[in-house]
Structures are given as C-alpha cells and as structure tokens.
Chain A
Amino acid sequence: MFEVRKDEPGYAFIPDVETAEKNQWGTNIATVAEDDAARGKSLNINGDQGISENPNRYKQHGFHFTADNCIGCHACEAACSEKNDLPAHLSFRSVGYIEGGSYPAYQRLNISMACNHCDDPVCLKGCPTRAYSKYAEYGAVLQDPDTCFGCGYCTWVCPYNAPQLDLSKGEVSKCNMCVDRLEVGLKPACAAACLGGALDFGVIETKPENREQAKVQIPGFPDPAITNPNIRFQQTRSLPREMTRTDSQPLRYQRDEQGQGEYKSKPVIKPKHKNGNKEWNFSKLSSRENPLVIFTLISQAVVGAFSILYLAPLLGITELSSASNPKTVLSLLVFMFTIQVVGLAMSTLHLGKPHRFYRAFNNLKYSPVGREVASLAVFFSLFSVYVVLESGLLSFLPATVVSTASNIVGLLALVMGPIFIYAMHKIYRIKARPFWNHWQVLTTFFGNTLALGALLVAVAFSLSLALQAESFGPVISLLAPILFIGLLIEGYGLYQHKKDLEKSGGEGAAAQLVQESTFGKTYQARNMALISAIILVGILSITAIDGYIGVFAWLALSAFIIATAVIGRALFYVLVIPTTMPGAFFWKNAGFQDHARESGLADMQQVGVLPKTDYHHELMARAKNDIAEEINKIKQEGFIKGISSRLVKRIVTIKQGL
C-alpha cells in the first residue's frame, strides 16, 4: 500500500462526505451494486495484494477544478510527472490557457486537465486491443501499456487529449487517477500539489470546501455530452466575451451574440491579405498518417476493381471477363493482391508495435478499428483465395469444383468489400474530431472505391488491349460511367462537407478555414482538378478516343485522378482539429513543436519536444527484440504447448471482446 506519512497534511486526504446517488447525467455514482461480486478484491497494484478499506471505493470519483483560482504554476503537472516518472516530452496532465480582454482589463483562464475517467470512455470503446478498463474501484479508467500496440486511436477519440502516444516508445499511457493513493484515502498527487486552490478531487458531484459550483462546462472545455466526463468546474468570475488561444489551433471561444450562454468554440478570423491568405504548403501535407493515406486509397481501389471484375461477367459484360481476357484479368488480380499487401504492411507498420498486430481483434464489440481490421482480414482472405482459384494453380482439381468455389468465394468477397469500406469510414466518425465526423467520409470512401476501382480496371485493360493493338474504346465506355459516378459522389460529398462545416462553427469550421488559407491554393487546385476530371472523363468517354493517343490521354487522366485522390486524402488527415484542451505558448502547442523540430531546438531533450515524428528504426529494433523474447519463451515452454496455449489465450481474449 502507498505510504501515508505520519505528518501527512489534512488537505491531502479525500474528505469522507455525504455523496449523491446519481450524477448530473443521471448515472449511478455507485459503480456496482452493494452485493456485487466485483467488490472486496485487490486492485493488485504493482503486485500488491492488499485490499483498501476506502469507504467510497465503489463510487465514481472525479476532479473538481476551480478555474477562477488556477494560477498556472504547473505544480499539478510536475507532481504528476514526478510521481509517474515521465520524460519531458510526455505528461498525463497539462495546463494550458485561454485569454481575452484588453489591457488592463485582461484575463487569462488557466485550465489544468488530465483524464476525466468518463462515464462513457470513448478511449476504452475505441481501443482495438482492450488496453483500457473502467474499474469498479473509483470508476477509474486505466490503460495498460503492456497491452497497447500503439495505434493511437484513443488519442484520436478522446476530446481532452488525455491518452498520450509516446512515439519514441510506440505506446500510449495516461493518467491512472493515482489509484495507489486513493487506496489509502489520499487525493491524487496533482490535486494534493495544487497551490492555487484550483484542483481538487473526490467522489463526483461533491463540492470541495468553500466551493459552490459543480458545473460540467467552462470555456475551452469540449462538449461534455461526448463522453460524460467526471470533472466538475467552478467558474464564477465573468470573462471577456471572446477568449482566444495562444497555441497554434485557430480557435477562439465566444458567447452568443447577446453575450449569454456557454462559450462556443469558433474559428479564428485571420486578417485578410491580398491573396486571401491562400497558400500552398505542399510540404505540410506530409504527416505521420502518410501510410494511412496510401493504405485507405489502395484498399478502396482494390475493393472497387474486384467488384467490377467479379460483377462484369455476371452482368454479361464479356469484355471484362477472364474468359475473353484471361491474362489481363489474372495480371490485374495479382497486381491488386500485391498492392493490397503493400497497403496492409503500411498500415501495420503505422502501429507503434506492429508485432502485436494480432491484438486488433480484442475489442470487436466496440472498437471501430477492430471491426475495420476484422472486415479487412475477412475480405483480404476471401480475395486471396479468389485470386488463387482464378490463377490456375489449382488446375489439378476438377474445373467445376474450382469455378464453383471461385464463384462462392468471390461472392462472399463482393459482399465483404463494401462492408470493409464502410467499417473503414466508421473509424473517422469521431465526435471529438468534427472535421471528420461527417457523412462525406462515406461518400468519399465509396466514391474513391468506384473511381479508383474503375480506373484500375480501365488502365489494365486499355494497356493490355492497346498492346494487342486492339480497340479499348468499348471497355472504356463501360468503365467511364463508374469512374464518373465515383468522382461525382466524392465531389458532392466534399461540397456538402464544406457547407456543413461552415455552418457548424467550432473545430470543424476552423479546420475548413485552415483548408482555405494555409492549404488554400492546394485546396483550390484539388477542387479544380476534381471538377476537371469529372468533365474530362465525360469528354473522353463520349469522344471515345482510341489508339495510342487514347492510351496517353487516359494515362494522363489517371495520374491526374490519383494525384487528386492522394492530395485529398492527405488533406483529410492533416486538417483535422480535435476538440482538445487549449495548450500554452510552448507546452502542448503544435505550432511550437513544429518550430522546435525545424529549428533543431528539439534536439535538446529538455525542450520537451521529440525531435522526430518517425521512430521506425526504434520500432523495428523493439519488434525484433520482443519477437525474439517471445520465441524464446515458446521454446522454453515447448513448441506445441507454447503455440497452443497462446492460441487458446487469443481465442479467449477475442471472445471476451465480442
């Protein structure tokens, strides 16, 4: 048990006061029933079998933050980082601020924020590996870095930036509510360290001494409806109508026009220059999510192309059947298989710990990532079998068996493909990321599935036919409408997205503003390209230009469409602005982090910014090491026993997550 000192000051203890039955969302504050079997068990903290006698152990606890009082002294952050032994570039708790007014009627509102151990922990639901648990004890949401494979999805879904992805270690860690301290009745280290009379802790809905409010919202704090967070606020001082952020997120917070109601996040209005602030910033398109740009596009192209290839003969379109063009179809299938493997590899290597990829199926009931990976796995398996069946490698079997099998497997893959694309789109429907949380993700993904799929097939066939000096006009005229529809769907979605974002305000509108300013020229070029592509597809298919000129025209158009898709997808990833907490001028300011990396300041460890965003070398070394260790263990346990016990464990774990 955590050591309670003889001279432990009174303020460090959680007062045992009367607590409410239900919280402000109507949820029971008691985490489990009086007679629940979960009670009376050890938390098993660092191997300690002790069981706490904290009378409120099975009640939801949470932070109380008196924003009026926070002086921004960082004592809470420091106490947390010291207790959890965190390196400078990480922190479970952060203090940022918003400010407003004009001198001397100026106000800064500091906000100290860590994990809110939410009633509806979106991190836990999102995590494919089930590294998260919400405990009956204190309602603490804890994360186990040993289970985590470093996909970082929890950092996407959390509105408060609580989970911290350490790129250098390839894993996430987060606030653990100092459950070891709670077990002995002490407040978490941060709350006990507060010097401003701001941060406190207790059973949720209890107000600390001298505090009158337990609000669920203050300016700068994301919409609590997303997760029902367990933090309450007091903020009684009136603030200027508009509060701004010092970090690089182009957000401000404003009350409605009558100066009433809650502060809502809005995009920052930049002073307009002659060029309307429009820039290219092409190099900024490249991000850590580059592998996902490639992976998503490849997957969509493969699903689209496969669907076309499979459906064409069934619909009587013989031009595209393997019967009429066996070599072309087979080459295309093999090509598709190859690029899908590349895409898979890229998405796996995007994990902090790719060698733990198999843990993606631990949380199929809740995790969109898990379900995407599962649907991908099913689709890819079916598709691979289909390729094998179509390849002629099984020619020693009766032809009817092969073709029947091929038809069935193909049909299943045909069903699975769109399911996979749909599951993929669900990943991005995150409330904490308004720029993504729009149906255009679906239209773009399916639009790209159609367009890129058709394009892939078209290119393959036109190349092959042109090489055989045959006319490919008919094939093109079959595929062009699909391409056309795909591009049109994407374009329509993007158009509506822009309109809805501008209406919505907040982080979505801010992202759109960045799209139109920082990436303004890139954005315009992409839009023009998309419109031109739609028109060109129309013209080329109507005029049905054939021969080498046709090949050239179509190849050029293909490159054009692919470039548009890549830029569009890259924009999709770099633009998103999460509904996260405000940062400070240096700390938790993405703008400064970029500057520190570019200028070399980040090379000094004590600057607290990781110098790189890419730790592939470390990642591979870690993977090698872990795999070698695991193999060693298996060897020691005996090969059969080792493998089978692991398989059983895997099945049990997956079952638990269903």
Chain B
Amino acid sequence: MLFTRPIKNEIKLPGKQEEVVDWKYTTCGYCSTGCSIEVGVNKKGEGIKARGVGDADVNQGKLCLKGIFEHELFTSAGRGTVPLMRDKIFEDYKETTWDAAFDKTAAEIERIQQQYGRDSFAIVSTGQILTEEFYTLGKLARGVIGTNNYDGNTTLCMASAVSGYKRSFGSDGPPGCYDDFSHTDCLMAFGSNLPEQHPVIYWRLKQALEKKKFPLIVVDPRVTMFAQFADMHLPITPGTDVVLLNSLAHVILDEGLEDRAYMEAHTSNIEAFEKLVEKYNPVMAAKQCGIDEDTIRNVARLYAKADAAMSIWTMGINQSTHGSDGVVGINSLNLITGNIGKKGGTSLSITGQCNAMGTREWSSCSGLPGYRALEKEQDREDIAKFWGIDPEFFPKKRGLFQTDIFPAIETGQIKGLWIIATNPMTSMPNTARIRKTFENLEFCVVQDSYRDVETTEYAHVYFPAGLWAEKEGCMTNTERRVNFISNVLPPHAESKPDLWIFNQMAKRFANGNKIEFPESASAVFDEMRELSKGRFLDISGMSHEKIEKNRGLQWPMKEEAEQGSARLYEDGVFNYPDKRAKLIPLDFIDNNEVPDEKYPFWLNSGRVVEHFHTRTRTGKIGNLNKFSPTPYMEMNSDAAAELGITHMSYVRLASRRGDAVVLVQLTQRVPRNMVFIPFHFHECVNRLSLGLLDPHSRQPAFKQCAVRIEMVSKQEAAAITNKSNRAF
C-alpha cells in the first residue's frame, strides 16, 4: 500500500553533507581511545562536519556522540578571545596584548621565585594538549623556569596506573592493545564502565565477542550497562579491590593454577607475595569485599584456566586510596597466570584523557622526557646536554604531585601557579578547601581554550589557547598509539596554540634563550624522536607523515621499523635492573571514610557518556549536554522511600566537607547504602568529596566517602540554587 503523491516534490534532506569541500584528518580530543576523525570543511574554511576515519585501526569509522559533534567545538560558546589581566582577583579583567600578558607573567614568576625560592612557583598541566606541547612545556618548566613543583591533572585520573605499572614492571606503559580482545579467552574489568566511558573501545570488545564468545567479568559496585552485560557481575564493596585481588591470587596459588614457569622465569619477590596472599582465603575476603567465597573461587579458576586472560580497569581502581595497589594487584594476577606480553593476555589500563599518555611520556612532569627520571644521574646529564644547560639546574628528586601542590599553596610554600587546560575549581575534591587555597596565591595564570572555565575566577592573567584541531601535533592513546592532529582551523580569535604560548614565555627567561625552542610541531617531534632512540619508549621510527598515513602508530617503533609494536614485554624482559617484573605483596588497610550513623551513604562518582571532564566543552554543545543538562544523583528507590524522597526532586547532601543540592533519580542501579553522582558538574559532587590520597600515586579517592541525605522542603529554592551554581 503506497501513498506516494502524484506530484513528486523534490525530497529535501537537511544536513551539511553537500557543503563539504575537504575532509581533514585529525584525532579525537576527548578520551584516550584515540579515534581518528575527519573534519569536513566548507568553502569558507569552517569545520562543519565530523566522521570517523574508515580505515583507522582504532575506530574503523566509528565515533561516540562526543566525536560526532566535535566539529561544533570550533564555534562553541565561552571561548577565550584575547589575553586578560587584572591585579587583584576581586577586580574585573581587562583585555590586554599577548606581550603584556607574557611580560607580566614572566615578571611575577621571577619575583616569586626570587622572593620565596625557585619551587614556590608551581605549574599544573593537563592530559589535553599535544605531545609536542607537553615536551615543550617540560623543557620550559624543568629547563627554564626550573620549578620542581610541576605536575599534570593526570594525578586525578591515571597516576595510580602509572605508579602501579612502574612498581610491577619497572616502567610506565600499558602493555596491551585493543586487538587483545580478539585473542583473549577471558576478560575481567575492574571499575570500568567501558560502554559509557569508552564506547568505541567497548565496540571493539563487542565485535570480538560477536566473533568468539568468552567470559566477561565486571567488578563494579554499581550495575552499569557493562555490569549488566557481564557473564558475572561482582558488586564489590567500595575500596576493597585489593582484598578481592589478593583472594583471587590466593585461590590460584592454593589450587596450583598459576603459570609457575612464567613466574620463575620473569618475576621476582615470589616468596613474599605468596606469603601475603596466603592470608587472604576467600572465606575471610568475602566478608571484607562483599563478594561471596564461591564466586571468588569460580572467578579465580576461570581466569587462571583461560588460555589467555586479560584485565582492564579505569577509575574504579585508580581513584582510590589503594589505587596504585589495585593496579599492582591486577598486574600480579596477570603475572602469576602468565598473562603479560601475549596476545589476549594483558594488564590494560583504559586511560582517561586524550593525551594522558603523552604527558606521562614526554611532559617531564614526573621526571624528564621520554620516561627519564630526575633521580637518575645519567638521565639528568643526557637531557641537560641535549638542551644545552647545566645538569645541576635539575633537581635530583621529583617534586610535588598535583594533589600535594594545592596543600602547599594552602600552607604558603607555593605562592604562584600556572594552570594549563585543567579546571581544579570543579575537578579537585573538597571545593571549599580549593577556593580557600586559591585565595592564598599571590599570582595565578590560567591558560585555557575557554574563558568561562571556573578556575579563571581566581586568576590574575588569562591566556586564551587554541583547542584540539586548531593546532597540530600528536597524542598517544591507551594502547600506546601515537596519532596525529592536523591543523584544521586557525585558533579562535586571538587565541594561540599552546606551543606558541610556551615558546613565547621561554623567550622571557635567561635559560629560554640558551635552549632552542623550535616553532613547528614537527621540529619538536624531531627532538623527541632523537631523545627516544634505542629506549623503551622508542618513537624514532615515526614522523608526522607516517603517523597520519598509518592512522596512528604504536610505540616502541625503532628507526628502521615499518610498523609499531602492538604489545610490550613479549620477550618477558621488564624494566627493573634484574629484568624481572616484581610481585608485590599488598596488605589491605581499610582507611576509607566509610558510611556510619551520621553519614550513612557511600558517595560514588563517575563519568557519563555525553560529558567530558568539567563540561567546559560538552556543556556547550546542546546535542550532548541535553542528555544530562544538570547534575543528578542515582539513589536506590528503597532507601529513598524510607526517607520520603521522591523521583525528580531536589535533595541536600551533606558530608564532613560541605553540602550540595542535587536532583534525585531513583533506580535500583545502586545499592541501598550508596548514591552515585556524575563528577562533571561545578559546585556539586566535589563540594562533598574527601579525596583521601593514595600513598604511592597521590591520586585522590574520589569514589569513596560518606554522605547524609536530607529532604528539601523548598523545592523551588533548591532549583534556584542548582541553576545558579553553574553558568553553562
């Protein structure tokens, strides 16, 4: 039965497809999946469309919703247009020139360093800018400004993974790759909500599962979609992953399921490890981690007996007081089962930010470029020589982590701060404390693509930076794939690439004129390539052209190599002096703020698929933001019924740090004694969070603290509070 109109009008299909005159290659600037994107450019040179690159190994043409709308970033609201300056934070900003802004900043840095010492000026960077920019910033921070209090916001997301990798394998570097999904026989995910956090990696996993089914085990206190799709969901008690991991190892060793040959050939410290896990029999462990003993045994057997088994994890592990330990525990599980460096057998940290890996590799935050350490004399000398400065200029030990820099500001050891592409006003735990901290600064400069990033509230100078494909350079993804961002559009208004900003700043210091600061990203890349030759992190076989042509290349890639390397440690040689990986015994100490009578609920936080970080980008794009335009809290409907709290009403949450007003979404996705709030929103979850620091990685435990929930009788007032807390 057809109803076609006899007079056939032209079919008008909306869309800008036909306006595209050129597609430009780039890589997504949100998460660490590393999807290749093509931006469609129209006659006027505007970026009007985005699509996944069809033959890119990572995403094979797919994109998540953020990537699909990434071209809208070019015209998104709230961008910085010109540098801004003011003397006091209570004054209004005045527009200024780049030169004036640089002069003032350089003068303030020199003044503070002279007055209070070199380390009294701190730099907090990001995982968002390009690798060449990271390398240049590192050169500026370590070689020119010479502060040892220089770190990235990766401390909030990946520090535990870095620390755990270093402790287990002697070096950072995720050993596996996405292709491992196609070879594994068992996958265990810890605190990773892959379908929501990394939908394209999930798609790769799903593709592999469609071809060959293998057991999927998800450890998560919340019934995420991933947990729901798992063959086994382990709803663990928050913060007790180490107990579960020890107990899994206990069962494996107890039942003789370990790969003894691999352990003896490639690991050290076996005895101490065995002695410790001996204590964690499943009967005892079950009481602590909330997973029954049968399940623990079942999972241990399944994992150990699989020909190849792999683990992935994200913030559920990392953002914990036992984050680093959790990573070590996962690594150990894979070491004792011989699942490192083989197809389908790996310990793969699913990274957060698009270039978290780039900052780990090249920014010198935790040391010197190319996985070099300040603690190693040879490394200091090599870099000093390469840059042409005195090695004594470098400190001999790494300085403060990001999460220790802020307390040092609070107590007055640090007086000046340069913030680059991060938003601690929203992202750091305990917002009230962070506000107080910022008030203590004598000078603060914020460098960001967005003028309305909340941290500008406390800045004296604002540098407007170009974003994403307004610049050129590389980023490294979760599977060590270095990919290329081409310069699709010039930076917005008078904003400038971060590389240019760093170079201009360098010129204003004595060392900056001694050291060469190349202007082009490819020249910077050449320096990095040179520095990587023959090392673990070898990128000497790469160039911008080769990277683009191959849609990304995985390091290590030696100079003469045709392709990168899919996996690390295939030869079983690790980066400890004895070439062995270390099995580290981890005793569990329960130091979390756990729910009690006064604060009876666990507060858990996490990402949602439509947002990234503190919404400075995604909060501006309607077709993303509309899926969660305002903060909300998942709360168990039974618990709510007891308190008389109803669906879609505002409640007040209180913790030992502060309070927050949030809209309630009732669901059985969370247990009776837990609430979940997305972390993206300003003046919301971090008004409550404690963020106890991991002793190794200094990463805050965002996901474990206790809150109280109170009904709000004046709903309209609560709605006003909620709305007025954020400008977008």
Chains A and B are bound partners = yes
Please list the residues of chain A having a beta carbon within 8 angstroms of any beta carbon in chain B. Answer: 2-3, 5-9, 11-12, 27, 31-32, 38, 41, 43-47, 69, 71-75, 77-79, 81-89, 99-104, 106-108, 110, 119-121, 124-125, 130, 132-136, 142, 144-147, 173, 176, 178-180, 192-193, 195-197, 209-210, 246, 248, 271, 584-587, 591-592, 595-596, 598-601, 604-609, 652-653, 656
| Contact between B13 and A88, CB atoms less than 8 A apart | no
Residues of B within 8 A of A600 (CB): 723
Task: Pick the contact of B199: A173, A195, A656 (CB < 8 A).
Answer: A195
Considering the chains assembled together, what is the distance between the CA atoms of A455 and B641 in angstroms? 50
* Complex Cα gap A85–B13 (Å): 10
**What are 22 A-B pairs with beta-carbon distances under 8 A?**
A9-B62, A38-B2, A44-B10, A71-B195, A71-B226, A75-B63, A75-B199, A78-B65, A102-B638, A103-B668, A106-B669, A108-B223, A110-B225, A130-B5, A134-B4, A136-B2, A179-B11, A210-B210, A585-B648, A586-B627, A606-B622, A609-B626
Known: A75-B64, A193-B63, A246-B667. A147 touches B210 (CB 8 A): no
Judging by beta carbons under 8 Å apart, are A87 and B622 in contact? yes
Bound together, the chains give a CA A102 to CA B636 distance in angstroms of 9
Q: A9-B54, A134-B4 are in contact. Are A607 and B723 (CB under 8 A)?
A: no
Partner of A101, one of B10, B65, B69, B668: B668
A84 touching B13 in the complex, CB below 8 Å, given contacts A195-B203, A587-B627, A608-B625: yes
**Is B546 interfacial (CB 8 A cutoff)?**
no
Please indicate the chain A residues that have their CB under 8 angstroms from the CB of B226 in the complex. 71
Determine whether the beta carbon of B648 is less than 8 Å from that of A595: yes
Contact A43 B11 (CB under 8 A): yes
Q: Which residue of A lies closest to B665 (CB)?
A: A585
User: In the complex the two chains form, what is the Cα distance from A11 to B235 in whole Å?
Assistant: 35
Count of chain B residues with Cβ under 8 Å from any Cβ of A?
81
With both beta carbons as reference points, the residue of chain A lying nearest to B201 in the complex is identified as: A195
Q: How far is the CB of B361 from chain A (nearest CB, A)?
A: 28
Partner of A38, one of B1, B4, B11, B648: B4
Q: Which of B17, B69, B223, B648 contacts A592 (CB 8 A)?
A: B648
B617 CB, nearest partner CB in chain A, Å: 11
Which chain B residues in 681-728 approach chain A with CB under 8 Å? 716, 719-720, 722-723, 728
A77 CA to B13 CA, complexed, in Å:
17
8 A-B pairs with least C-beta separation: A88-B622, A608-B626, A7-B54, A78-B65, A71-B195, A7-B55, A606-B622, A9-B61
Given the complex of chains A and B, what is the CA–CA distance between A655 and B226 in angstroms?
A: 57
CB contact between A601 and one of B12, B62, B629 (< 8 Å): that residue? B629
**Distance from A76 Cβ to chain B, minimum over Cβ atoms (Å):** 9
CB-defined contacts of A248 to chain B, threshold 8 Å: 648
The answer on a CB contact under 8 Å between A246 and B665 is yes
CB distance from B642 to the nearest CB of A (A): 12
Interface residues of B in 4-20 (CB under 8 A from A): 4-18
- For the complex formed, measure the closest distance between the CB of B25 and the CB atoms of chain A, giving whole angstroms: 11
Nearest-neighbour CB distance to chain A for B291, whole angstroms, equals 11
Q: Which of B233, B626, B641, B665 contacts A587 (CB 8 A)?
A: B626
Note all chain B residues with C-beta closer than 8 A to A595. 648, 719
Q: Chain A residues with Cβ under 8 A from B15's Cβ?
A: 83-85
A391 to B716, CA, bound (A): 57
Chain A nearest Cβ from B689, distance in angstroms: 22
**Contacts between chains A and B (CB distance < 8 A), count:** 247
Known contacts A85-B15, A586-B629; 4 additional CB pairs below 8 A are A11-B61, A102-B638, A106-B228, A108-B669
B650 CB to closest chain A CB, in angstroms?
10
Residues of B within 8 A of A7 (CB): 53-55, 61
Evaluate contact between B1 and A46: CB separation under 8 angstroms.
no
B60 within 8 A of A: yes
**Shortest beta-carbon distance from A50 to chain B in Å:** 12
Which residue, of B2, B60, B203, B626, has the highest number of chain A Cβ atoms within 10 A?
Answer: B626
B49, CB-defined interface residue at 8 Å: yes
Q: Is the CB of A103 within 8 A of B4?
A: no
Q: Which residues does chain A contribute within 8 Å of B348, judged by CB atoms?
A: none
Chain A contacts of B1 at CB under 8 A? 27, 119-120, 134
**Shortest distance in angstroms between B159's beta carbon and chain A's nearest beta carbon?**
27
Given contacts A86-B623, A136-B4, A606-B629, contact A196 B10 (CB under 8 A): no
Our pick among B623, B668, B720 for the contact of A99 (Cβ within 8 Å) is: B668
Q: Which of B2, B233, B624 contacts A134 (CB 8 A)?
A: B2
Cβ contact of A656, chosen from B5, B69, B202, B207, cutoff 8 A: B5
Determine the distance from Cα of A196 to Cα of B470 in the docked complex, in whole angstroms: 31
Specify the main secondary structure of chain A where it touches its partner. loop
Q: Which chain B residues (396-442) contact chain A, with CB distance < 8 Å?
A: none
* Residue of chain B at shortest CB distance from A177: B13
Q: Does B656 contact A (CB under 8 A)?
A: no
Bound-complex Cα distance A196 to B17 (A):
25
A3 to B18, CA, bound (A): 9
Kindly provide the distance from the CB of A455 to the nearest chain B CB, expressed in whole angstroms. 41
Q: From the candidates B4, B13, B225, B670, name the one contacting A72 in the complex (CB within 8 A).
A: B225
CA distance A134 to B54 in the complex (A): 33
Residue from A38, A46, A75 within 8 A of B65 (CB atoms): A75
Flag if B625 contacts A88 (CB, 8 Å): yes
CA distance in complex: A346, B716 (Å):
34
B622–A608 CB distance below 8 A: yes
For A88, the chain B residues whose CB sits under 8 A away are 622-623, 625-626
Of chain A, the residue at the smallest CB distance from B62 is A195
Q: Does B515 contact A (CB under 8 A)?
A: no
Q: Are A193 and B5 in contact (CB under 8 A)?
A: no
**Contact of A82 with B621 in the complex, beta carbons under 8 Å:** no
User: Within the complex, what minimum Cβ distance (angstroms) separates B557 from chain A?
Assistant: 23
Tell me, rounded to whole Å, the shortest Cβ–Cβ distance linking B217 to chain A. 14
Chain B residue numbers with a CB within 8 Å of A585 are 628, 632, 648, 665
Most A CB within 10 A of own CB, among B9, B227, B636: B9
Query: Which chain B residues border A86 with CB–CB below 8 Å?
Result: 14, 623
In the complex, A69 Cα to B69 Cα: how many Å?
24
Given A82-B69, A606-B626, also A108-B13 (CB < 8 A): no
Contact A75 B622, beta carbon cutoff 8 Å: no
The distance in angstroms between the C-alpha atoms of A513 and B696, with both chains bound, is: 58
Cα distance A161–B227 in the bound complex, in angstroms: 30
Give the CA-CA distance A273 to B719 in the complex, in Å. Answer: 25
Least Cβ distance of B719 to chain A in Å?
4
CB-CB contacts below 8 Å: B347-379 with A = none
In the complex the two chains form, is B14's CB within 8 Å of A69's CB?
no
B195 touches A12 (CB 8 A): no
CB of B68 within 8 A of chain A?
yes
Q: Which of A45, A133, A145, A596 makes the CB contact (< 8 A) with B4?
A: A133
Beyond A46-B13, A73-B609, is A607–B667 a contact (Cβ under 8 Å)? no
With A32-B2, A195-B203 as contacts: A607 and B625 at CB distance below 8 Å: yes
Q: Is B206 an interface residue (CB 8 A)?
A: yes
* Given A134-B3, A608-B625: A8 in contact with B61 (beta carbons within 8 A): yes
What chain A residues lie within 8 Å of B60 (beta carbons)?
A: 9
Q: Which residue of A lies closest to B233 (CB)?
A: A104
- Residues from chain A with a CB closer than 8 A to the CB of B63 are 75, 193
Which B residues are CB-close (under 8 A) to A46? 10-13, 18
Whether B626 contacts A197 by the Cβ 8 Å rule is no
Q: Which residues of B contact A38 (CB under 8 A)?
A: 2, 4
CB proximity of A276 to chain B, nearest CB, Å: 17
Kindly state whether residue B671 has any CB partner on chain A within 8 Å: yes
Q: With contacts A106-B669, A134-B1, A144-B9 known, is A197 near B723, CB below 8 A?
A: no
* CB of B619 within 8 Å of the partner chain: yes
Known: A73-B64, A104-B233, A104-B235. A606 touches B11 (CB 8 A): no
Indicate whether A106 sits within 8 Å of B668 (C-beta atoms), given known contacts A73-B65, A134-B2, A601-B630: yes
**Residue of A27, A106, A119 with highest tally of chain B CB at under 10 A:** A106
